[in-house]
Amino acid sequence: MDINEYLKPQNPPKSYLIESILVTVFCCMPFGIIGIVNASNVESLYKTGNYEGAEEASKKAKRWMIIGLVSGFIFGTLYFLLIMADTFMNFD
């Protein structure tokens, strides 16, 4: 048996693909797309034996997913506040 079989982690790292897709659709498209690209690399890197690369891609996918989620909430909140401010300013 090859030494890589002993060094192989039991399970591949989490890809965050579904989370990245949801962030892309509902929060922030540019950051979500970057998350999707990194998430799609996780499984292929794991299957080719690049376990460190798969772990790094998983970390990047998680990072971009969180950045997209936070920025989507920030911009959404600011947009809501601007709409509310405009509504109250024009209230006669």
Domain edges within the chain: 12-89
How much is the pLDDT for 92? 58
User: Average pLDDT, whole number, for the chain?
Assistant: 89
Distance CA 48, CA 22 (A): 27
Predicted confidence pLDDT, tens digits, the chain (92 residues): 556 566 666 788 999 999 999 999 998 899 999 999 999 999 999 999 899 999 999 999 999 999 999 999 999 999 999 999 888 887 65
Instruction: Please calculate the CA angle 38-59-34 and round it to the nearest 5 degrees.
Output: 30
